[in-house]
Chains A and B, each alone.
Chain A
Amino acid sequence: MSLGPYAAFIVTAYAFVAVVLVLLIGWIVLDYRSQTQRLRELERSGATRRSARAAAELTGN
Chain B
Amino acid sequence: MSIALSTSHDYQGAMSLTDLANPTRFMALTARILPWLIAITAILLAIGLYQSATAPDDYQQGATVKIMFIHVPNAWLSMFVWGVMSVAALGTLVWRHPLADVAAKAAAPIGAAFTFLALVTGSLWGRPMWGTYWEWDARLTSVLILFLMYLGLMALWRAVEDPTRAARAAAVLTLVGAINLPIIKFSVDWWNTLHQSASVFRMGGPTLDRAFLIPLMVMAVAFTFLFVTLHLAAMRNEILRRRVRSLQMMQATSRAA
Write the residues of chain A forming the contact surface with B, with a CB cutoff of 8 angstroms. 1-7, 9-10, 12-14, 16-17, 20-21, 24-25, 27-29, 31-32, 35-36, 38-40, 42-43, 45, 47-49, 51-52, 54-55, 58-59
Contact = CB atoms under 8 A, between A and B. Distances in A.
Contact of B124 (A9, A25, A48): A9
B217 to A, nearest CB: 18
Contacts of A1: 53-54
Interface stretch (B67-75, B143-151, B169-177, B202-210): B67-75
Interface residues of B, number: 47
Contact of A55 (B5, B70, B233, B244): B5
A39 B113 CA distance: 28
A13 B125 contact: yes
B31 to A, nearest CB: 11
B158 interface: no
B110 A6 contact: no
Given A35-B241, A40-B3, A16 B124 contact: yes
Nearest to B64: A6
A48 B250 CA distance: 9
Closest 3 CB pairs of A and B: A35-B240, A6-B128, A55-B6
A13 B109 contact: no
A9 B70 contact: no
Given A12-B124, A24-B230, 11 more contacts: A5-B128, A6-B63, A16-B120, A21-B113, A32-B233, A42-B251, A47-B247, A49-B243, A52-B6, A54-B8, A59-B6
Contacts of B246: 49
A13 B67 contact: yes
A7 B63 CA distance: 8
Contacts of B121: 13, 16-17
Contact of A10 (B63, B74, B116, B120): B63
Interface in B237-253: 237, 240-241, 243-244, 246-248, 250-251
Given A6-B63, A10-B66, A16 B117 contact: yes
A7 to B, nearest CB: 7
A58 B5 contact: no
Which of A4, A28, A59: most chain B CB closer than 10 A? A28
A36 B113 contact: no
Contact of A4 (B64, B233, B236): B64
A39 B110 contact: no
Contacts of B71: 13
Contact of A51 (B5, B124, B234): B5
B9 to A, nearest CB: 9
A24 B127 contact: no
